[in-house]
Structure 1
Amino acid sequence: MNLKLLGEVFVTLLVIVDPPGMVPVFLALTGALPARDRIRAGTQAVLLALGVIVVFAVAGQTILDYLHVQLPALQGAGGLLLVLVALQLLTGKTDAPEDQGGTSNVALVPLGTPLLAGPGAIVATMLFVRRADGSVDYLVIALGIMAVMLLVWLVLRFSGVIVRLLRPGGIEVLTRIAGLLLAAIAVQLIADAVAAFVRLYG
């Protein structure tokens, strides 16, 4: 087994996904939900992210080529989506959980994608797959992805401890901070997409 490749996949995706950095956003979006619904939202988000990453690992370049979409376009779209979510968090105008049909909407967008399975994770995975040499390397990449997603799930699963410590007032403050951080991530994604387009067409 190629342990070097496994380490590269694990560390790269772990840095991109950033489980500790996900906690404030996760709590801001799910802090008002019952513990069971919050855990379910975390599980759904991780499963969706895993599915999206696997799909793009297997057929990502084919999908983008068929749609005539460049990777920077995917990055820019993710940034714009995060801007909308960040504005909701900053203004406190997020939808009530009962208006969202349970936890599904929060789990799918923005938690599952583009936060967990964002452009960075998708592109990194596609590049690792291109480098792979044989079925053993594909298995190693799959193990690395699974390990990262398991770690993310564990972090989100036990975020309830933080909820109990913060109380509603603390969650409100955390929501505003998360909105600001999310806005910064969104702006960076859009800026990177613009820079990539300039390099492509400049």
Structure 2
Amino acid sequence: MFDFALFGSVFVTLFVIMDPPGTTPIFLALTSGRPVKVQRRMAWQATLVALGVIAVFGLAGRQILDYLGVSLPALMVAGGLLLLLIALDLLTGKSDEPSQTKDVNVALVPLGMPLLAGPGAIVTVILAVQRADGPWEHTAVWSAIAVMHLVLWLTLRYSLLIIRIIKDGGVVLVTRLSGMLLSAIAVQQIANGIQGFITGTT
């Protein structure tokens, strides 16, 4: 039978880690100034990129990392450093410059990877798939992943209504707040990675 307990456990864990409500202001800041159609396209592109990355690591994550000789803490630190660079751009206002973001598809990086499909989500999926026993448990895990990304897309898609309300001045404020939030996420991710090195987590 379908394992609803496992489904709920994986879904809740991914929801907390990927944090759709917390990602919303960062998404709005990175996509501001673009046509609505482009923003909507970026919403599903970011979701698909995240789903693709999660699926690949769910299927062969441990093998990929072992082949490259990369530990999970190293992955966390690398992802944290990349997010920190994006956060600094948001805080200093560099993301407002057309040359910085207008010609770059932020739905791929940093939204899809590593913000949504970050080390935390990747590790969660790798462990969940490894621990799943039998077809029903595997179905529960992958169903939770699929539903999580559906929720993520709906959150990003309808968050665009906020931009119409807060206007340009509000977008600037959201951008700065997003920079602070993202920098905190990045530092925590780096700290977790360093802690993993110290404790010997692999």
Q: Tell me the TM-score range normalised by the shorter chain.
A: over 0.9
* 1:49 corresponds to: 50
Q: Give the conservation status (yes or no) of the 8 Å contact 1:38–1:103.
A: no
Residue 101 of structure 1 and its aligned partner are, at CA, apart by 6.7
- Give secondary structure in 2 for the equivalent of 1:88: helix
Please list the CA deviations of residues 94-136 of structure 1 after superposition, one character each: whole Å capped at 9, or x if unmatched. 26567657562x0011100111100000000111111100122
* 2:151 corresponds to: 151
Residue 159 of structure 1 and its aligned partner are, at CA, apart by 1.1
* 2:134 corresponds to: 134
Alignment partner of 1:193 is 2:169: no
Cα 1:101/1:176, change in 2 over 3 Å: closer
Alignment of 1:115-126 (within 5 A): 115-126=115-126
* 2:162 corresponds to: 162
In 1, the alpha carbon distance for the partners of 2:101 and 2:84 equals: 19
Gaps (5+ residues) in structure 2? Answer: none
Please list the CA deviations of residues 78-106 of structure 1 after superposition, one character each: whole Å capped at 9, or x if unmatched. 000001000100011126567657562x0
In 1, the alpha carbon distance for the partners of 2:155 and 2:46 equals: 12
Please list the CA deviations of residues 15-63 of structure 1 after superposition, one character each: whole Å capped at 9, or x if unmatched. 1111000111000001211110001111110000000000000000000
Letter in 2 for 1:42: A
* 1:183 corresponds to: 183
Letter in 2 for 1:81: L
Q: Give the conservation status (yes or no) of the 8 Å contact 2:94–2:100.
A: no
Cα 1:100/1:177, change in 2 over 3 Å: closer
Residue 140 of structure 1 and its aligned partner are, at CA, apart by 1.2
Q: Give the conservation status (yes or no) of the 8 Å contact 2:95–2:101.
A: no
* 1:9 corresponds to: 10
* 1:113 corresponds to: 113
Q: Give the conservation status (yes or no) of the 8 Å contact 1:97–1:103.
A: no
* 1:171 corresponds to: 171
- Give secondary structure in 2 for the equivalent of 1:94: helix
In 2, the alpha carbon distance for the partners of 1:32 and 1:153 equals: 20
Alignment of 1:63-78 (within 5 A): 63-78=64-79
Q: Give the conservation status (yes or no) of the 8 Å contact 1:41–1:103.
A: no
Letter in 2 for 1:12: T
Cα 1:102/1:37, change in 2 over 3 Å: farther
Taking only aligned residues, the RMSD between alpha carbons, in angstroms, comes to 1.5
- Which runs of at least 4 in structure 1 moved beyond 3 Å after TM superposition? 95-103
Letter in 2 for 1:199: T
- Give secondary structure in 2 for the equivalent of 1:126: helix
| More divergent stretch after superposition (92-101 vs 181-190) | 92-101
Letter in 1 for 2:119: P
- Give secondary structure in 2 for the equivalent of 1:33: coil
Letter in 1 for 2:88: L
Q: TM-score, normalised by structure 1?
A: 0.95
